[in-house]
Amino acid sequence: MGLTSETTVYVMAALAAVSVALLVWWWPRFARQGLLQVLGRLVALGTTQVVIIAAFACWLNSSYQFFGSWGELFGHVETAPVGVTQAGDYGGTGTVNGVAVKGALVQPATDEQLSRVSGLPTGPAAVNGRVESVKVIGRRTGVVDPAFVYLPPQYFQKAYQRQRFPVIVALSGYPGSIFNLAQYLRVSQTAGTLQKSGQMQPTIMVMIRPTIAPPRDTECVDVPGGPQTETFLAKDLPDALKSAYRVGHDASAWGVMGYSSGGSCALQLTMRDPHVFTTAAALSPDYKVKDDATTGNLFGNGPERIERINSHDLMWRLKHLPVPDVSVLVAESKHGERGYPQTQAFIKAVRAPMRVVSIQPEHGSHNFPTWVQEMPPALKWMNQQLTFPQDVVPRHHKKKGVVVADPQKPGHDPLRADGPEPTPTTRTRR
């Protein structure tokens, strides 16, 4: 039985009901005086409470997909399979253990979670788009992280067959999952509606969790001697997506957003890695990464610990380091969320060339209804910042097993099997 399956929930509910019934049935026998009877009452009460709590936890996890498997719950994280080879050309295919896949660094995954998401596009992909369930494999970190990828209708249309697309990476909070992003934050559904109505340019949406070593909350930190979360999100993830999808190569086509700790991660990535992400939207973020019971020691020990802590304190960075040329959006309710004063301080601390805008509802809470309300304006604002890539996928001709780039394309290098590197655009709409 899978951790998130309905069967597990029903079995645990049945065990809880049986435990309560047995407690009632056997209680008269424990009512006598004596040490054994007292111990029996304590054991019976404790067992019944544990089973009831476990049943409720299973139901809650099944509804919100905090942990996708028993292995994740107990900290056993999947690692990259042996023999992974990168695709020969962008958007092509490779093989892993003899099985053809769409890019070796992005592999097909089961649709168990995706099948439970409502409102996803159906019918012809060239008309309505498509959401894919995949596994992203970190070439540097060895991390294997599940993801949903929304591809707009234009991605499948002949007129766009050589066109690259901008990308927005959506990050869940802790201990959230990609299911939460798809079902409760409505990332792909909202983006699809905005794009169909012309309020947003065709954009690939990638839903992924920053929790790469569950159940530990690693935030967006490369932990000394531990999980390398920032490396995975800032290096492995873009490389994997570029190997499997027609996405822009220039940072001006890449944005990242998230809610709660995912929003904090979006700000961290954009300010620390502006050569990867130039735009961020953070819904109810924090502005400093701290150690707590869920994170453990994120910054290591020794003389470099303070330096690592400061580097992940965004207010410290704004005061002491050069300001990156990026655009960020922060969202926080004036009443109902405790982070409003910190958000105001962050806005005041931002200086050129960095740009900041905000969404500040009068009332709201740290929950999905508030973030869903903020999603459309956040996505429309990100759309205005991201550049629709001007570079295109090189046209190739295959002859007797040799891949040759289009000789009419400027910059053709016959020594490169994958053709010339596309020239990134430098135009950015602000």
At 359-385, the pLDDT tens digits run 999 999 999 999 999 999 999 999 999
Task: Tell me if 201 sits within 8 A of 195, measured CB to CB.
Answer: yes
Across the chain, mean pLDDT equals 83
**φ, ψ at 357 (rounded to 5°):** -130, 170
| pLDDT exceeds 50 at position 76 | no
| pLDDT exceeds 60 at position 357 | yes
| Residue 22, pLDDT score | 82
Task: Tell me if 281 sits within 8 A of 331, measured CB to CB.
Answer: yes
92 vs 54, 238, 242, CA distance in Å? 45, 16, 11
Per-residue tokens: 48: 């019944």
* Confidence at 73, pLDDT banded by 50, 70, 90: low
**Tell me: the pLDDT tens digits for 97-114?**
333 344 589 999 988 889
CA–CA separation, 211 and 219 (whole Å): 7
Under DSSP, is residue 194 helix (H, G, I), strand (E, B) or coil? helix
Any residues with CB less than 8 A from the CB of 149 and at least 6 apart, and which? Answer: 106, 131, 132, 134, 204, 205, 206, 207, 245
| pLDDT exceeds 80 at position 32 | no
Q: What does the pLDDT average to over 78-104? A: 39
Q: Is the dihedral of CA 418, 423, 429, 430 positive or negative?
A: positive
Instruction: Give the best-scoring range by mean pLDDT among 41-45, 298-302, 406-410.
Output: 298-302
| pLDDT exceeds 90 at position 396 | no
Per-residue tokens: 88: 């020969």
Share of the chain above pLDDT 70, in %: 80
347: left (phi over 0), alpha (psi -120 to 50) or beta: alpha
Domain topology for 82-385: Rossmann fold (3.40.50)
Task: Tell me if 347 sits within 8 A of 356, measured CB to CB.
Answer: yes
| Residue 420, pLDDT score | 35
- 241 versus 101: which is more confidently predicted? 241
CA–CA separation, 239 and 235 (whole Å): 6
Q: Smallest Cα–Cα separation from 159: which of 408, 392, 410? A: 392
256 vs 110, 166, 394, CA distance in Å? 25, 11, 27
CA–CA separation, 318 and 315 (whole Å): 5
| Residue 60, pLDDT score | 66
| pLDDT exceeds 90 at position 254 | yes
Task: Tell me if 375 sits within 8 A of 361, measured CB to CB.
Answer: no
Per-residue tokens: 28: 């008269």
**Tell me: the pLDDT tens digits for 290-338?**
999 999 999 999 999 999 999 999 999 999 999 999 999 999 999 999 9
308: left (phi over 0), alpha (psi -120 to 50) or beta: alpha
| Residue 3, pLDDT score | 58
Pairing of strands 130-137, 144-151: antiparallel
Q: What angle do CA 253, 273, 417 make, to 5 degrees?
A: 60
CA–CA separation, 1 and 11 (whole Å): 10
Q: How far is CA 71 from the centre of its chain?
A: 19
Task: Tell me if 165 sits within 8 A of 248, measured CB to CB.
Answer: yes
* Confidence at 71, pLDDT banded by 50, 70, 90: low
* Confidence at 59, pLDDT banded by 50, 70, 90: low
| pLDDT exceeds 90 at position 262 | yes
Any residues with CB less than 8 A from the CB of 420 and at least 6 apart, and which? Answer: 394, 405, 409, 410, 411, 412, 413
